[in-house]
Amino acid sequence: MPGASRFALETRPPADGSTRARLGRLQLRHGVVETPQFMPVGTNATVKALTPDDLHDAGATIILANTYHLYLRPGHERIARLGGLHRFMAWDRPILTDSGGFQVVSLGDLRVVDDDGVTFRSHLDGSLHRFTPEHAIAVQEALGSDIAVALDQPVAPAASSRELVADATERTHRWAERSLAAHARPGQAIFGIVQGGLEADLRAASARFISGLPFDGICLGGLAGDETPEQRDATIDIAVAELAEDPRPRYLMGLGSPADLLEAVHRGVDLFDSVMPARVARNGQLWVPGGKMNIRNGRYLDDPAPVQEDCPCLLCSRFSRAYLAHLFRARELLAYRLATCHNLTFTLDFMARIRAAIRSGTLSASLPELRLRAGRVSGSEAAVKSA
Ligand SMILES: [Zn+2]
């Protein structure tokens, strides 16, 4: 229900306008989340290869689980019968479930969107399904997440016509109202999604419309896709300007590289999620201060040093580059766990450094140093630089 979370700003952006970054505390049913914060993604009720203890040790305080995936398998009703998502996956901290809209559009085959909802085929077995705003809320209520998100119709930011963006944004607004009307689970917060693509007037109008509804938080959707960093920055600026005095948390969905996170925090965003740190880890790409290390590179086979000297993670505290390089070459399962622990530790530590800089009022002065630490880890096709 609206009001199931509390968000308090501890440090407001400075009056000189040098940054719009702010520090906050989001109180949810299963605990407090300090913002700005990054949410690791547990698609199938697991952050791939990690245990809940691994996540805890990496510094995770909230994770995201995918409504679409859990609805299809093992089924939200089954999870509810087994005591809800927290008990099912043995994670006792906050969980946000997404709306399912993005996965329906990106994974579902033969989807047909009408004003009432979206019909799609499962990417698992081709079976036919239908999500309406009411049904997407019912699924998330059954899962029992701390934060539910209203069903939206995302479109590819750069590749969509203005007509398509306008149509999807209007529909998202009507679905937002229906989602709020349907939502009834006590103790579960609900966030709404701003769309509007890269169209400045549509994005501003969407931010005004969604923030006019009694949601607990405001998501910025339809970004972290095919847009350029400049287009993304401009779109964030438009939405944040509309939300300037709004007291609720702002969540940019799908952004995950440290460099991108830093710029979005600087522009006034509080929450993020992405599969990126874990996905690139499973490909052997380790994030380290100043850049990336591709552990598949043959030169690491004889390297006794840890991946990152001062990193407290499961990988760096006990194992060498040589060992991890061997595990990847031998396709040993432990490689995926260790590499994922490291990249999530790096990402969550980076967010903690950003929060510390905001707290001390030095974020704008620290930007060059933080950008250097984030390296050129930006976007999906970032230049590869060995550390
Ligand atoms: Zn590490």
Compute, in angstroms, the gap from residue 59 CA to the centroid of ligand 1: 12
What integer is the mean pLDDT of 68-74?
Answer: 97
Instruction: Indicate if the pLDDT at residue 149 is higher than 60.
Output: yes
Q: 61: pLDDT confidence band, cut at 50, 70 and 90? A: very high
Q: Which of 98, 216, 260, 270 is catalytic?
A: 98
Q: CA–CA distance from 305 to each of 97, 338, 342, 349 (Å)?
A: 39, 15, 15, 21
Radius of gyration of the chain (CA): 20
Question: Which tokens sit at 206?
Answer: 């969407």
Amino acid at the residue 244? A
Strands (E), 195-327: 217-220, 250-253, 271-274, 285-288, 291-294
Q: How many other C-beta atoms can be found within 10 angstroms of the C-beta atom of residue 336?
A: 20
pLDDT digits (tens, 9 = 90+) for 179-220: 999 999 999 999 999 999 999 999 999 999 999 999 999 999
Compute, in angstroms, the gap from residue 33 CA to the centroid of ligand 1: 23
Compute, in angstroms, the gap from residue 63 CA to the centroid of ligand 1: 20
Q: How many whole angstroms separate alpha carbon 298 and alpha carbon 308? A: 18
Is 115 in the active site?
no
Q: Which of 146, 260, 270, 273 is catalytic?
A: 273
Compute, in angstroms, the gap from residue 319 CA to the centroid of ligand 1: 9
Residue 313 · residue 55 · CB < 8 Å: no
Compute, in angstroms, the gap from residue 192 CA to the centroid of ligand 1: 35
What integer is the mean pLDDT of 47-53?
Answer: 98
Q: How many whole angstroms separate alpha carbon 114 and alpha carbon 359? A: 46
Q: What is the pLDDT of residue 376?
A: 61
Closest CA to 203 of 234, 160, 227, 230: 234
Is 349 in the active site?
no
Compute, in angstroms, the gap from residue 267 CA to the centroid of ligand 1: 28
pTM: 0.96
Q: How many other C-beta atoms can be found within 10 angstroms of the C-beta atom of residue 226?
A: 13
Q: Are strands 118-121 and 128-131 parallel, antiparallel or unpaired?
A: antiparallel
Compute, in angstroms, the gap from residue 208 CA to the centroid of ligand 1: 42
